[in-house]
Amino acid sequence: MKPIINASELEVRNVPEPEFTKSWHPVSHGKVLDALQLSLKNAGMGVVKSRYSLHGRGMNMFGTWVLDQEIDGRSWMIGIRNSMQKQFAIGVCAGNLVTVCSNMIFSGQFISFRRHTSGVDLEELRLFSERSLQTTFKNIGKLGDWHSNLKTFPFKTEEQFKATAFDALKSKVIPMTKLYDFLDCYKEEVALNEPSLYTFHGGITRMIRGDSMFGIAHSNNKLTRFCDDYIQKAA
């Protein structure tokens, strides 16, 4: 079976669960999704958009969910992974921009894991899902504060914005080939908020939305470091 980069939820759920042993208890992708969806429903939240991929003859599943919640106008996302062939633990990550893909990149602001041990049954899976989401929700305020703090670093002049963009080009946070795409995305952000590090961050986030999962993870990590360095230098 070839990897399915854009798998439907039905394809994900149709992958059969293998037999388990005394020490290893694989859990089907469908059961993982069911547990997380139930926990979200109990928390009063829902999924508005999903994306999945299947690898390793369907035994490895990676997915992202966009939730019906926002932080400062930015959608909250959850990343999910599950392996039924002993390659990695069940994982849940969350943030404004998360990446989960077959090369083991699993990034987000908050991450939880659960190994496939003999103690993994439906009840434990439900508890793991609830614990993961509770941790995520508990930290939402911290992430919102980080984004809001970016607004406290305004671009008072056009030259200040250009200097920041130049630094981002040198650091390859903005690829030279995407400079004009970034400028268009930045204009969209400035139409919503005053020019600042916040709108700069938003412009780059818009720019990379259509990239691959690998590309998004790589770009987002560099962007976060760039913003943190900017804040440290300006302090």
Q: Please tell me the least confidently modeled range out of 1-15, 111-125, 137-151.
A: 111-125
Mean of pLDDT values over 21-44: 85
Distances (CA, A) of 208 to 42, 54, 97, 189: 32, 23, 10, 14
> Residue 199 pLDDT > 90, yes or no?
yes
User: Would you say residue 140 has pLDDT above 80?
Assistant: no
123 and 10 fall within a common domain:
yes
Surface-to-core class of residue 187, CB atoms within 10 Å of its CB (0-12 exposed, 13-18 middle, 19+ buried): exposed
Q: For 144-176, give one letter per residue: b (16+ CB within 10 A) or e.
A: bebbeebeebebeeeeebeebbeebeeeebbee
Is residue 17 one of the residues assigned to a domain?
Answer: yes
Task: Specify whether 135 is located in the same domain as 156.
Answer: no
Domain enclosing residue 214, as ranges: 151-234
Q: Are residues 17 and 115 in the same domain?
A: yes
Q: State both tokens at 49.
A: 């958009």
pLDDT at position 118 over 80: no
CA dist 215 to 17, 59, 204, 210, 212, Å? 31, 24, 13, 9, 5
Structural domain includes residue 213: yes
CA count, 13 A, side-chain hemisphere, 28:
15
- Distance from CA of residue 213 to its chain's centroid? 9
Sign of CA dihedral 69, 70, 71, 74: positive
Q: How far apart are the first and last CA of the chain?
A: 53
Q: Say yes or no: 88 and 202 in one domain.
A: no
Please write the tens of the pLDDT for every residue from 176-197: 999 999 999 999 999 988 999 9
Q: Are residues 120 and 206 in the same domain?
A: no
In the chain, how many domains are there?
A: 2
The predicted model scores a pTM of 0.64
Question: Which position has the higher pLDDT, 213 or 77?
Answer: 77
Q: What CA–CA distance (Å, rounded) separates 219 from 221?
A: 6
pLDDT digits (tens, 9 = 90+) for 141-168: 666 677 788 999 999 999 999 999 999 9
pLDDT surpassing 60 at residue 213: no
Tell whether 127 and 159 lie within a shared domain. no
At residue 93, the pLDDT reads 77
Residues 199-206, mean pLDDT to the nearest whole number: 90
pLDDT tens string 62-115: 888 888 877 666 677 788 888 888 788 788 877 655 544 444 444 555 456 666
* Residue 87 one-letter amino acid: Q
Structural domain includes residue 145: no
When pLDDT is cut at 50, 70 and 90, the band that residue 224 belongs to is confident
Give yes or no for residue 232 having a pLDDT over 50.
yes
Whether the CB-CB separation of 128 and 90 falls below 8 Å is answered with yes
> Is residue 229 in some structural domain?
yes
Token representation of residue 109: 């602001």
Residues 33 and 124 in one domain: yes
Q: Are residues 117 and 179 in the same domain?
A: no
**Ranges 184-193, 203-212, 213-222: which has the least confidence:** 213-222
- The reply to whether 129 and 159 lie within a common domain is no
Residue 228 lies in a domain: yes
Say yes or no: 73 and 131 in one domain: yes
As a whole number of angstroms, the distance between CA 233 and CA 57 comes to 48
Instruction: Note whether 77 and 102 are same-domain residues.
Output: yes
Mean pLDDT along residues 196-216: 81
Query: What is the layout of strands, in order, in the sheet containing 60-71?
Result: 4-7, 47-55, 60-71, 74-83, 90-95, 110-114
pLDDT digits (tens, 9 = 90+) for 36-62: 898 888 888 889 889 898 988 889 988
